[in-house]
């Protein structure tokens, strides 16, 4: 019976009720040992009214065994695995040891766990209970927390209990479970001793135990009748606290105490029984532990009645006793359990034991348990006698910790590895490359340039190029290109050399080049396997073979075009992102965006070992530049959440900056400023000039969209002169059309002309229609005529940019007293802006239409669908969808099933169906076919040609 827990039970009932109604929720119960968390979880498991219950408990001896808790939790639901998307099914099966290959990507595995829980909840709902979460192995904990943060659309109630001194469980609401009040504690004591306790004694016990239910029960059992009635003083200290079960343990017979010690470090029943026989204790000792209530058998496991009993047993033994227990258990255990027992039994260093534990780490890593692999490798390194071998294992531990979302530990381990590396030049270079990668992802990007620039392999040069691009250090990128030219011809060599030639002035583009929004920031850690430090050198032959610099006829254009001709050979996201860079430096924004999207699709299903949030930087940017603002929003929201979970600080800044630009285009001023400041707070001290530049661009676009031309002009001018670490040449080039518009609007025609001259130089080799369209628009704004705008509209392939041009042309025509000619352009511009959610621009177009003598009806903020000539543009109806719903709708239009969509978006198939059931009534449709038709209309919007 529970006493005094009405508030806690009400909170639990609320979580379960919401889950029953399809709005899943999670709750962490946090409190000290013995406070009653387990009793509350027991109550939760009975309050679901027929809902299915899945349960697991963290056990300290298993906290280093990857997926131990997840296996216990999901074992009753494995029959439902066939309902999962194939990549998720393979990941979960691999993690649980059921076949299916390696788990690989921890995000993919976590999505599979969520999908399996959703399937288990499908019929009656699910109550998922996890006790002693602080001892759940890291791999299981990561997957469970991923699910707990994403159950909002599932019939799942997740309840986690954690000790109060454990680290906070991020992203999940928590409820503090404290000691009982005096009245509830008195009721508990009366129930325990039949009302034979004096009121003053009750008050003293509550005060001395803090109302801890376990302490109250165990203490009152040890008090004499005289002490309970107050005739004798209470003992000082009470028989409780950290020694709560010490007397019981000390009173155990030798054989029973031996079995208890074995059980304190091994929970597997079969292993425990064999070890007990080996020490001469036998099964009777285990039965005695059950009889006196200290332990119980649950299936194939032995559990202590309370974790403090285990602690008391462990503390009562000497270190030598504990090592001997592990030695005996190692003789009976197999696989990973044996390796851990050997490690605990070993004094000093032992290469055989170290190698066994390294094997355990490899198996955990292959299934996606990177955190547990790191723990195993750290202990393996401690046991390794040779300094060089120890350095290698510490290096591997650092990689595993990084991929497991523990960047702080990764950097500490890498520093320790360097201490043992000695004069091994090859190992030293590997460590330097990893240090540079870690620094680039979460530290100072300028420092990453310095570290990575010391290497000469093609993979390390690629990393250095990425770091330099993040900073905005053009000189460093040029130097990387010069050094890359010494390597044999190949895809990556051509890209790096071509970019270097472009920026060095070997082509007429001088010091800057157009359309480098994605380039060359291919993630260094994507350039190869996490365990293959040569990176993508295999794409171009040996990274250690050299040849002379590129021949004179190998211009930047030739090299980049040759690299792009090999995209049909690419299979990994890293390659597609480097191809994105090549297309960008050729000025082909449409191809660049397409390749970035392909990189994203590959990353979602190809075992990217957790690097998806970085890939999504490029996908989100490509969507935004292409005018797919809602899609960009959804991708960046997903990327931001994953980057925070993975600990990739600089990637967090990237997604914040992109979201700030999107907020600016929507006219959400407060949100734009908040996001931009958050991005700058990371990017500026970390010297990530690209991300600082995007955040500054967001604030400038906010002013421009709001018609504050002078303020926008000042911001764009500041962007133009920002140096490396605070700005970026890419942002300067990309923002020039906007800068010219702001300068013209502010009346600074001299600045607009100077910007145009630079833009003409930078765009000299840009051959795509969209690039020529933007240049024509810029010239038209400075020259003041109309023909340039008309030329631009004839070239535009990007509907959003076409709408910007149409708006400017419409404004010029109206001011030239040609309202009839202006209206068609303004109407189509309004329609595009409304469809994309660019409210400030829609308001501007609507105001111009009114001035031109047209009544446009409801304003863009009302969500009205634009019309032209009385005909509703059906594709615009999709504006009512959320970004996530719009992404799902787009994948439906591509012909993907719910399972396939779930696999791409890290959702459960049931979540996809949930979103579809919300989409249909919003759009007034009832089938996937109708949805696909609307999306196709949206995907083929009005272009510049249609506006003429």
The CATH number of residue 801's host domain is 1.25.40
**In this structure, are residues 829 and 840 in contact, taking their beta carbons and an 8 Å threshold?**
no
Spatial separation of the C-alpha atoms in residues 311 and 751, rounded to whole Å: 74
Q: Residue 237: CB partners within 8 Å, gap ≥ 6?
A: none
- Strands (E) across 73-191 are located at 126-131, 156-163, 174-176
Spatial separation of the C-alpha atoms in residues 370 and 609, rounded to whole Å: 9
In a domain, 528, yes or no: yes
Secondary structure element (H or E) that encloses residue 807, with its range = helix 799-815
Is residue 211 classed as helix, strand or coil in its secondary structure? coil
Give yes or no: residues 397 and 441 share one domain: no
Spatial separation of the C-alpha atoms in residues 283 and 259, rounded to whole Å: 9
In a domain, 132, yes or no: yes
Q: Of 386, 410, 429, which residue constitutes the final position of a domain?
A: 429
**In this structure, are residues 273 and 241 in contact, taking their beta carbons and an 8 Å threshold?**
no
Backbone dihedral region for residue 798 (phi beyond 0: left; psi -120 to 50: alpha; all else: beta)? beta
Spatial separation of the C-alpha atoms in residues 298 and 55, rounded to whole Å: 12
The CA angle 664-665-671, to the nearest 5 degrees, is 30
Give 898's Cβ-side CA count (13 Å radius).
14
Secondary structure element (H or E) that encloses residue 364, with its range = helix 351-366
Give yes or no: residues 160 and 203 share one domain: no
Give yes or no: residues 369 and 306 share one domain: yes
**In this structure, are residues 692 and 726 in contact, taking their beta carbons and an 8 Å threshold?**
yes
**What CATH number does the domain containing 884 carry?**
1.10.10.10
Question: Could you give phi then psi for residue 147, rounded to 5 degrees?
Answer: -65, -45
Cα distances (angstroms) measured from residue 493 to each of 476, 482, 486: 16, 10, 9
Beta bridge partners of 724: 727
Is residue 326 classed as helix, strand or coil in its secondary structure? helix
Is residue 546 classed as helix, strand or coil in its secondary structure? coil
For the chain, the C-alpha Rg in angstroms (whole number) is 32
Count of beta carbons in the 10 Å neighbourhood of residue 423: 7
**In this structure, are residues 561 and 569 in contact, taking their beta carbons and an 8 Å threshold?**
no
Cβ density class 619-651: b for 16+ within 10 Å, e for less: bbbbbbbbbbbbbbbbbbbbbbbbbbbbbbbbb
**Sheet hosting strand 52-57, strand order edge to edge:** 52-57, 126-131, 156-163, 25-31, 174-176
Give yes or no: residues 593 and 502 share one domain: yes
Spatial separation of the C-alpha atoms in residues 935 and 4, rounded to whole Å: 56
Question: Could you give phi then psi for residue 268, rounded to 5 degrees?
Answer: -70, 120
Spatial separation of the C-alpha atoms in residues 724 and 745, rounded to whole Å: 29
- Strands (E) across 381-519 are located at none
Spatial separation of the C-alpha atoms in residues 602 and 618, rounded to whole Å: 13
| Dihedral of the alpha carbons of 334, 338, 340, 344, in degrees to the nearest 10 | 160
Spatial separation of the C-alpha atoms in residues 719 and 40, rounded to whole Å: 57
Spatial separation of the C-alpha atoms in residues 892 and 89, rounded to whole Å: 21
**In this structure, are residues 475 and 483 in contact, taking their beta carbons and an 8 Å threshold?**
no
Q: Taking the chain, what is the end-to-end CA distance rounded to the nearest angstrom? A: 78
What are the tokens at 766?
A: 């840009």
| Dihedral of the alpha carbons of 660, 666, 667, 669, in degrees to the nearest 10 | -30
Give yes or no: residues 162 and 274 share one domain: no
Query: Taking the chain (948 residues) in consecutive chunks of 10 residues, what is each chunk's mean pLDDT?
Result: 91 96 95 92 94 94 92 95 90 85 73 94 95 94 94 95 87 93 90 83 88 88 87 74 73 92 92 92 89 89 86 88 95 94 95 96 89 94 96 95 86 94 90 93 93 92 93 92 92 92 57 36 36 29 36 71 90 89 77 86 66 88 87 92 89 97 96 98 96 97 95 96 89 91 95 93 78 93 90 92 95 91 93 89 92 65 36 53 86 88 86 90 88 72 52
On the question of a cis peptide bond just before residue 729, with omega within 30 degrees of 0, the verdict is no
Beta bridge partners of 25: 157
pLDDT of residue 594: 84
Spatial separation of the C-alpha atoms in residues 828 and 116, rounded to whole Å: 47
Cβ density class 834-868: b for 16+ within 10 Å, e for less: bbbbbbbbbbbbbbbbeebebebeeebeeeebbee
Q: Of 222, 244, 266, which residue constitutes the final position of a domain?
A: 244
Q: Of 244, 272, 296, which residue constitutes the final position of a domain?
A: 244
**In this structure, are residues 517 and 584 in contact, taking their beta carbons and an 8 Å threshold?**
yes
Give yes or no: residues 97 and 238 share one domain: no
- Residues recorded for the chain: 948
Give yes or no: residues 203 and 152 share one domain: no
pLDDT of residue 250: 87
Spatial separation of the C-alpha atoms in residues 629 and 663, rounded to whole Å: 10
pLDDT of residue 208: 84
In a domain, 704, yes or no: no
Listed residue (736, 720, 716) closest to 728, CA to CA: 720
Spatial separation of the C-alpha atoms in residues 378 and 409, rounded to whole Å: 11
In a domain, 710, yes or no: no
Listed residue (457, 458, 531, 514) closest to 491, CA to CA: 458
In a domain, 915, yes or no: yes
Count of beta carbons in the 10 Å neighbourhood of residue 351: 14
Helix 689-705 vs helix 649-666: angle between axes, to the nearest 10 degrees? 10
pLDDT of residue 240: 53
Give yes or no: residues 342 and 226 share one domain: no
pLDDT of residue 893: 85
**In this structure, are residues 140 and 68 in contact, taking their beta carbons and an 8 Å threshold?**
yes
Spatial separation of the C-alpha atoms in residues 56 and 34, rounded to whole Å: 18
Question: Could you give phi then psi for residue 767, rounded to 5 degrees?
Answer: -110, -10
Residue 838 CA, distance from chain mean position: 28
Listed residue (4, 60, 42, 342) closest to 189, CA to CA: 4
Cα distances (angstroms) measured from residue 924 to each of 254, 891, 927: 75, 19, 10
Q: What is the DSSP string of 105-138?
A: -HHHHHHHHHHHHHHHTTTT-EEEEEESGGGS-H
Give yes or no: residues 11 and 32 share one domain: yes
Listed residue (769, 786, 767, 780) closest to 741, CA to CA: 780
Cα distances (angstroms) measured from residue 24 to each of 47, 128, 146, 216: 15, 11, 14, 35
Cα distances (angstroms) measured from residue 144 to each of 26, 67, 74: 11, 11, 11
Give yes or no: residues 257 and 406 share one domain: yes
Give yes or no: residues 849 and 773 share one domain: yes
Could you identify the residue written with the tokens 């009721």? Answer: 187
- Helices and strands (H, E) in the chain, number of each type: 47, 9
pLDDT of residue 174: 95
Give yes or no: residues 355 and 310 share one domain: yes
pLDDT of residue 571: 85
**In this structure, are residues 752 and 736 in contact, taking their beta carbons and an 8 Å threshold?**
no
On the question of a cis peptide bond just before residue 733, with omega within 30 degrees of 0, the verdict is no
Overall domain count for the chain: 6
> By residue range, what is the domain housing residue 523?
430-609
The whole-model pTM stands at 0.82
């Amino acid at each position: 019976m529970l006493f005094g827990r009405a508030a806690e039970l009400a909170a639990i009932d609320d979580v379960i009720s919401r889950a029953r109604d399809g709005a899943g929720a999670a709750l962490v119960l946090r409190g000290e040992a013995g406070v009653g968390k387990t009793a509350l979880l027991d109550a939760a498991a009975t309050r679901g009214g027929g809902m299915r219950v899945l349960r697991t408990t963290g056990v300290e001896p298993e906290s280093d065994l990857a997926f131990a808790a997840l296996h216990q939790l999901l074992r009753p639901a494995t029959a439902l695995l066939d309902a999962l998307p194939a990549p998720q099914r393979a990941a979960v099966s691999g993690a649980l040891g059921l076949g299916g290959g390696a788990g690989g990507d921890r995000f993919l595995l976590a999505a599979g766990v969520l999908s399996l829980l959703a399937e288990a909840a499908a019929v009656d709902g699910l109550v998922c209970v996890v006790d002693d979460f602080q001892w759940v192995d890291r791999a299981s904990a990561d997957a469970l927390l991923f699910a707990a943060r994403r159950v909002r659309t599932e019939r799942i109630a997740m309840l986690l209990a954690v000790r109060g001194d454990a680290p906070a469980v991020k992203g999940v609401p928590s409820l503090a479970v404290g000691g009982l009040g005096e009245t509830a504690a008195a009721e508990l004591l009366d129930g325990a001793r039949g009302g034979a306790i004096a009121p003053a004694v009750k008050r003293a016990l509550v005060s001395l135990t803090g109302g801890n239910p376990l302490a109250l029960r165990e203490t009152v059992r040890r008090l004499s009748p005289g002490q309970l009635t107050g005739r004798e003083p209470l003992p000082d200290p009470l028989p409780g606290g950290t020694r709560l079960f010490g007397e019981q343990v000390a009173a155990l017979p030798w054989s029973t105490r031996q079995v208890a010690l074995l059980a304190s470090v091994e929970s597997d029943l079969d292993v425990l029984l064999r070890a007990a026989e080996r020490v001469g204790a036998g099964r009777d000792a285990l039965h005695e532990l059950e009889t006196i209530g200290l332990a119980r058998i649950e299936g194939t496991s032995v559990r202590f009645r309370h974790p403090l009993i285990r602690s008391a047993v462990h503390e009562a033994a000497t270190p030598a006793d504990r090592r001997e227990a592990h030695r005996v258990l190692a003789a009976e255990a197999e696989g990973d359990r044996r390796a851990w027992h050997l490690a605990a039994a070993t004094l000093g260093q032992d290469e055989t034991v170290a190698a066994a534990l390294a094997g355990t780490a490899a198996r955990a890593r292959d299934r996606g348990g990177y955190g547990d692999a790191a723990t195993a490798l750290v202990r393996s390194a401690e046991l390794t006698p040779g300094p060089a071998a120890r350095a290698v294992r510490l290096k591997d531990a650092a990689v595993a910790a990084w991929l497991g979302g523990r960047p702080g530990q990764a950097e500490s381990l890498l520093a320790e590895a360097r201490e043992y590396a000695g004069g091994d030049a090859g190992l030293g270079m590997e460590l330097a490359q990893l240090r540079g990668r870690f620094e680039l992802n979460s530290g100072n990007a300028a420092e990453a340039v310095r570290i990575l620039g010391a290497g000469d392999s093609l993979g390390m040069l690629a990393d250095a190029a990425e770091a330099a691009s993040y900073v905005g250090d053009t000189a460093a990128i040029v130097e990387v290109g010069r050094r890359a030219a010494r390597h044999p011809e190949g895809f990556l060599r051509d890209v790096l050399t071509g970019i270097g030639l472009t920026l060095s002035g070997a082509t007429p583009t001088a010091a800057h080049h157009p359309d480098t929004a994605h380039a060359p920031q291919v993630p260094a850690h994507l350039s190869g396997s996490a365990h293959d430090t040569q990176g993508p050198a295999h794409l171009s032959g040996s990274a250690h073979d050299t040849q002379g610099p590129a021949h004179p006829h190998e211009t930047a254009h030739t090299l980049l075009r040759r690299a792009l001709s090999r995209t049909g050979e690419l299979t990994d996201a890293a390659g597609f992102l480097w191809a994105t860079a090549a297309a960008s430096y050729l000025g082909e924004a449409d191809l660049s965006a397409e390749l970035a999207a392909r990189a994203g699709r590959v990353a979602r299903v190809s075992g990217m070992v957790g690097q998806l949030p970085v890939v999504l930087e490029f996908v989100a940017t490509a969507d935004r530049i292409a005018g797919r603002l809602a899609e960009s929003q959804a991708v960046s929201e997903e990327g931001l959440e994953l980057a925070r979970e993975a600990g990739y600080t600089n990637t967090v800044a990237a997604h914040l900056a992109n979201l700030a630009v999107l907020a600016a285009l929507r006219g959400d001023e407060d949100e734009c400023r908040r996001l931009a400041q958050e991005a700058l707070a990371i990017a500026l001290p970390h010297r990530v000039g690209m991300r600082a530049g995007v955040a500054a661009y967001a604030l400038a676009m906010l002013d421009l969209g709001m018609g504050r031309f002078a303020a926008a002009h000042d911001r764009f001018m500041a962007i133009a002169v920002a140096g490396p670490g605070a700005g970026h040449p890419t942002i300067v080039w990309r923002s020039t059309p906007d800068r010219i518009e702001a300068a013209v609007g502010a009346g600074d025609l001299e600045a607009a002309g100077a910007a145009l001259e630079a833009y003409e130089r930078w765009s000299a080799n840009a051959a795509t229609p969209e690039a020529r369209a933007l240049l024509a628009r810029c010239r038209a704004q400075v020259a003041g005529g109309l023909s340039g705008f008309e030329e631009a509209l004839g070239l535009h392939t990007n509907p959003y940019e076409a709408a910007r041009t149409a708006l400017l042309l419409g404004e010029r025509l109206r001011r030239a007293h040609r309202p009839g000619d202006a209206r068609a352009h303004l109407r189509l511009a309004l329609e595009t802006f409304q469809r994309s959610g660019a409210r400030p621009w829609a308001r501007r177009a609507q105001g111009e239409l009114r001035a031109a003598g047209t009544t446009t009806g409801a304003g863009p903020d009302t969500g009205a669908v634009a019309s032209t000539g009385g005909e509703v543009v059906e594709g615009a109806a999709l504006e009512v969808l959320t970004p996530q719903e719009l992404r799902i709708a787009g994948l439906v239009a591509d012909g993907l099933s719910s399972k396939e969509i779930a696999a791409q978006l890290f959702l459960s198939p049931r979540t996809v169906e949930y979103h579809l059931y919300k989409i249909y009534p919003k759009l007034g449709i009832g089938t996937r076919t109708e949805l696909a038709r609307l999306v196709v209309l949206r995907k083929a919007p009005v272009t510049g040609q249609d506006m003429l």
